[in-house]
Amino acid sequence: MRGFSLCFGVAATAAKLAKPPHVIFNVVDDWGYNDVGYHNTAPAGTDIATPNIDALAAGGVKLEDYNVFRFCSPTRSTFLSGRHPYHVGQQTGMNLNPMPGVACGIHTAYDFLPKVLGDRAGYRSHSLGKWHVGYYNASQTPTHRGFSSYLGYYSGAEEHFSHLKAGCGQNYFDLANSTGRDGAVTPAARGLVGDNGTYSVHLYGNESVRTIRAHDPGTPLYMYLAWNVVHAPCEAPQHYVDRHANIKDLGRRKFAGMLSSLDEAIPQIVAALKERGMWDNTVFIVTTDNGGNLGGSGNNWPLRGGKFTFWQGGVRGNAFIHSPLLPAAMAGATWHGLAHAVDWYTTIADLAGVASLDGTGLLPPDGVQLWDAIVANASSPRTELVLNIDSSKGGLSVLRQGRWKLVDGYPGNGKTGWDGWTPLPSNSSADAAATHWLADADVLASPFLTGAATAAQLAGMPCAGGSPCLFDVFADPQERHDLASANPDVVRAMQARVAELAKSEVTVEESGLCPFSTGTRSDCQCAQKAKESGFWEPWCDAGSNYTCTATKPTSPTPAPPPSPPVVPTPKVCAAAARAAPAAAYDEVRADPRCNDTAAFAAKQVWDVVVVPAGSAAAAAAASGGGQQPVQLKLRASAGQGLCMGVSGATIANPAHGDVRLLPCSSSDAAQLWLRVPTAQPTVAGEFSLQQHNGAQQTILDLQKGTNMEAVGEGQSTPNKNQRFAYDPTDGTLKFTTKPNAGLLVDVC
């Protein structure tokens, strides 16, 4: 029967590939929702352009309900460790902040993905670009965590040409060049840095091509390519910037130039894989780490907020997979299944043939295997996702279950404008965006990111102070309508689930993330070390001249299994006659204007047509003999669907009748009104109603009469959970349930 349903699943083993694939994992830094051609809302030729990236995405599968953390390091630790930020101490403020000298890092008890692939599946792995998951001693650096080589920078950002990074009042180069697992940590060659240094995209792109050309195609390859762009500062070779002279805002023009350089580099990596005969067995993944930086010329329109926030603009990410291993039918597809950054670890390990991820950390991996669902264009095995759980001062929990997003605590950074919707700047004049980009000079010090916000500061902030927000991100992806007050049962159920999940939260102190007295502040001993070579590098190794004493984390509690998605009650669904061809009926679905009474009344029309038993129409619908069904046919206008929970909306269609849904909050009864034309009188058995209330179902025959109560089939007494009455003055059949007992209309 068609209608609303709940689906639950667990990770399955990926369809067996002929051999472990090569995996190229691209991370585009601060890549906003509106910062890729296939999402961009501007007229063609007036903003950014990414034709090569768009072409790869168009030949692969776009992930359209893909979610990340609100800023860099926690998402990257999720990619590499396969654990949620709240399980490794990354859930509070920007603990592992982008400045040099932060003596923090993901505990080495967690095996990063390249180590898992190397030890358990024979892969050779290489890392390029941004690291940002710890480097206070050598054990935290890439070649000590499973990579065979590394060329990149340890902190969260740097200059794109000079590769300089300021910190602790000093300005040194941040570029390392290391080879060999557990090998020495070596500053990069000085020819790559300085005023005439190699531009970051060219540096990492060229090294990627060189690495692929030197790789043995018979050995599976994992490449973690964490591009520096499009993170601020906005810098690009001038010829890329000049391509976008039509963009009047200088920051956005330079931003577009950075994207153009990336758009040119990615096809060169694909070409190198083809040259080596590796492409046909490659899975090529492109993802962001967080939403676009509204203070760095990024854009997430039409989504709310951006980087540093848990609004959709900060956590709904760009991602796609391109691979010759995808079924031909999925080339160019868009997959709408629920996905999280944590799922890559599990999915890639499974594709590689890793039999088990047991023993890879203090807690088991949090991801699910997505490949099978993606290649089959099936529902996601993920039924919920944790965007954050933070029980520290103030508290902030963000949970998705299906269409619902609960935000319990202030999800922003406290800066004016970052909680709203930021359009692209105008191209009408050179100074059109003089005040457009939002100030971010002090955003990292915001008490709302450091966890230092007081109750007074939180007062009046969205979703804070014990007034959580609830959004239907399917119907309202821009998060303009808070539905918490209309759905208290959903809020309570999701808060209960958060409380259950929070039992496995690992605090910063328990995680060992920042094990020194400096905590999340920069340890400026690193500057003394950097002075020796001119490069930022590990400073806490045993035998060094600097005092750093680590502590052991406590044993965390495993996370409870996911609960089923919460579905608000009551729900009303419509379905076609069982014996009728499915193609003969319009699908009934939830309408995105459920909370917009005016739009609902103006744009949606439903017909209720009762087809008399024994009629030619009923005989045709039966199409196969047997008892001829009576049909209740609900037909929406093009592109519309049945709307739930609209208070006071009346859709009049005197020719056939109307369907009216009255208030359906948890404290009210559900009411469905069917107005039956007098020319089509109802008789017993013409159609039936199924009541869904938990596991109980009661089939009710509807009979014509005045103020008659519905009774169960074969019963002589009224069913006390559900009543129906008939008003002969206007031909209305009115059905009422007790609170929380939903209705589902079906046809027999």
* Residue 635: per-residue pLDDT: 34
Task: Please report, to the nearest 10 degrees, the dihedral formed by the alpha carbons of residues 343, 346, 348, 350 taken in order.
Answer: -140
Task: Find, among 565, 310, 569, the residue nearest to 463 by Cα.
Answer: 310
Task: Find, among 479, 440, 131, 443, the residue nearest to 316 by Cα.
Answer: 479
Strand order in the sheet with 688-693: 696-701, 688-693, 742-746
Which segments of the chain have a pLDDT < 50?
1-13, 431-436, 568-748
**Would you say residue 561 lies in a domain?**
no
**Would you say residue 527 lies in a domain?**
yes
Distance of CA 621 to the CA centre of its chain: 42
Give the Cα separation of 73 and 61 in Å (integer).
26
What is the β-pairing status of strands 149-153 and 221-226? unpaired
* Three-state helix/strand/coil letters over 540-606: CCCCCCCCCCCCCCCCCCCCCCCCCCCCCCCCCCCCCCCCCCHHHCCCCCCCCCCCCHHHHHHHCCC
DSSP single-letter state for residue 217: T
What is the β-pairing status of strands 742-746 and 149-153? unpaired
Task: Name the domain count of the chain.
Answer: 2
* Residue 520: per-residue pLDDT: 79
Q: Catalytic residues, which ones?
A: 72, 132
Is 191 in the same domain as 326?
yes
Contact 58, 332 (CB under 8 A): yes
Task: Find, among 344, 424, 338, 446, the residue nearest to 386 by Cα.
Answer: 338
**Would you say residue 565 lies in a domain?**
no
* Sign of the dihedral through C-alpha 240, 241, 247, 252: positive
* Residue 439: per-residue pLDDT: 55
Is 322 in the same domain as 402?
yes
* Residue 678: per-residue pLDDT: 33
What CATH number corresponds to the domain at position 120? 3.40.720.10
Strand partners, 533: none
**Would you say residue 480 lies in a domain?**
yes
Contact 103, 356 (CB under 8 A): no
Task: Please report, to the nearest 10 degrees, the dihedral formed by the alpha carbons of residues 514, 518, 523, 525 taken in order.
Answer: -110
Could you read off the pLDDT of 160-177 as tens digits, one per residue? 999 999 998 899 999 999
Last residue of a domain, one of 512, 533, 554: 533
Give the Cα separation of 321 and 546 in Å (integer).
45
Residue with tokens 């499974």: 350
Is 526 in the same domain as 587?
no
Is 132 in the same domain as 268?
yes
Give backbone dihedrals phi and psi of 410, rounded to 5 degrees, phi first. -70, 120
Could you read off the pLDDT of 579-632 as tens digits, one per residue? 222 222 222 222 333 333 333 333 233 333 333 334 444 444 344 332 222 233
Is 201 in a helix, a strand, or coil? helix
* Sign of the dihedral through C-alpha 34, 37, 39, 45: positive
**Number of other CB atoms surrounding residue 701 within 10 Å:** 17
Task: Find, among 417, 362, 283, 395, the residue nearest to 87 by Cα.
Answer: 362
Is 184 in the same domain as 41?
yes
**Would you say residue 8 lies in a domain?**
no
Is 33 in the same domain as 93?
yes
Is 666 in the same domain as 526?
no
Q: Let me know if 700 is exposed, middle or buried by CB neighbors in 10 A (0-12, 13-18, 19+).
A: buried
Residue with tokens 């190794």: 541
Buried b (16+ CB within 10 A) or exposed e, 374-390: bbeeeebbbbbbbbbbb
Last residue of a domain, one of 533, 550, 572: 533
* Residue 701: per-residue pLDDT: 34
**Would you say residue 570 lies in a domain?**
no
Is 61 in a helix, a strand, or coil? strand
Contact 644, 593 (CB under 8 A): no
**Would you say residue 473 lies in a domain?**
yes
Contact 172, 164 (CB under 8 A): yes
Domain with 681, as residue range(s), is: 582-746
Task: Find, among 482, 483, 477, 486, the residue nearest to 421 by Cα.
Answer: 477
**Would you say residue 429 lies in a domain?**
yes
Last residue of a domain, one of 494, 513, 533: 533
Give the Cα separation of 546 and 557 in Å (integer).
34
Distance of CA 580 to the CA centre of its chain: 38
Contact 546, 183 (CB under 8 A): no
Is 480 in the same domain as 623?
no
Give backbone dihedrals phi and psi of 659, rounded to 5 degrees, phi first. -115, 125
Is 633 in a helix, a strand, or coil? strand
Question: What single letter denotes the amino acid at residue 306?
Answer: G
Task: Find, among 251, 290, 334, the residue nearest to 57 by Cα.
Answer: 334
Is 220 in the same domain as 97?
yes
Distance of CA 172 to the CA centre of its chain: 36
Buried b (16+ CB within 10 A) or exposed e, 167-177: bbebebbbbbb
Is 508 in the same domain as 601?
no
Is 77 in the same domain as 185?
yes
Who contacts 334 (Cβ-Cβ below 8 Å, separation ≥6)?
61, 62, 64
Is 527 in the same domain as 590?
no
Instruction: Please report how many Cα atoms fall inside a 13 Å half-sphere around the Cα of residue 151, on the Cβ side.
Output: 18
